[in-house]
Amino acid sequence: MKKTLAVLLAVSIVSGPAAGANPLTYATAEAREYYGDRRFSQEELDNLLAPVALYPDPLLAQILVAATFADEIEDAARFMRRYNDPYGIDDAPWDVSVKAVAHYPPVLSMMAERIDWTVALGQAYVDQPGDVMASVQHLRRMAHAAGHLASGPYQQVVVEREYIEIFPFQPEYIYVPAYDPAVVFVERAYFHPVVTFGPPLLIGAWLNRDCDWRGRRVFYHGWRGGRHWVDRSRPHVRLTNVYVDNRFTTVRVNRDVARRSVNFDNLNRYARVHREVNYRDRGDRGGRGDSNGRDRIVRREAAPAVERSRPLPRIPSPEVARRAPEPRPREIRQPPREAFRDNRRADPDERRQTIRGRAPQPGPPPAANVPKPRRERPERAEQPRGEDKGRERDRGRRET
């Protein structure tokens, strides 16, 4: 029995990984050899970051972290389409970055509609956070050199020697820029502005993070002083423990986003800065996804597949609960044409009901068709004529 156990143990040692090797490291190296190089090149990062590189720093910080929670972005977009209540999302069991982005519906809708772009951005930030921050600064330098990035009534641009910062200029509102990456980063300044801004969006406690360009990271500021825009906006913000708490000191990202597949054909739509970049080459190299556009889930260490669609969580919202159903409009039937015939001879009550759109109410049955009796006038005594009056007058005198 002991000899049998010894033989089995020897066989297992020979068939397994080399002695002293870390099983996790061995599996990761094997997965990398199978799936190939997953790192984005500098040109690929520039195309990915171009749509949001000119966003204000506090909003960009939340977008980079929220992109790693792509599933929650989809759930938040479904919640907003159904209820349109950004404050009701504060009680959701989602990451604080997703809740922050949900307070700006245009940004949330953009990330949910471009889900392949969102997943790729999250994967890039998880694997290459320093390269992502460097790409943003590279794009901002290009826009500033082209004359499309400057301070104004909507934003404050601080140009340093090593980096460029963008802050909200107004203390209560933040503005999201809209631009074409193929123009703003390449072409020189036009006579008309190539960067426009949307409607004002409220600054709240949910903007609790900012970009540390010197350290190339996203950090939690907790609305403590020291930043240009924080000092201006702090008197107008009501802090709550939903967004301001010590548990947010460590910025947490979702590394499981690496398991989601990406349709590289959709990513090629955003090749606006470097047009020669083809993301399908990543599929040929064995990156995440498939070169012919088919979805393929990449798993690490035989991890379970990610569920793409989940039921929307029920979130208690007082405003939604008090929302009463709208009353149904009363249906008014068109009266028949016969009701308008000989309207002058109709009864006034019947005519009034017809005008209001209701059918005339049935009245008492009509009486029998019996002719009404004629009223006879009393006969008057025949008045005497003029001659008769004189004779009667003379007769009366004689009698007296």
Q: Is the pTM of this model over 0.85?
A: no
Residue 305: the pLDDT is: 38
Residue 354: the pLDDT is: 47
Residue 39: the pLDDT is: 86
Q: For residue 112, report the phi and psi dihedrals to the nearest 5 degrees.
A: -75, -35
pLDDT in tens, the chain (400 residues): 444 544 444 434 333 333 333 332 233 344 344 344 578 999 999 999 999 999 999 999 999 999 999 999 999 999 999 998 888 889 899 999 999 999 999 999 999 999 999 999 999 999 999 999 999 999 999 999 999 999 999 999 999 999 999 999 999 999 999 999 999 998 876 667 899 999 999 999 999 999 999 999 999 999 997 778 999 999 999 999 999 999 999 999 999 999 998 888 888 888 888 888 887 766 554 455 544 433 333 333 333 333 444 555 555 554 444 444 554 554 545 555 554 454 445 455 555 554 454 555 555 555 555 566 666 666 665 555 555 656 666 666 666 5
Residue 266: the pLDDT is: 87
Residue 367: the pLDDT is: 54
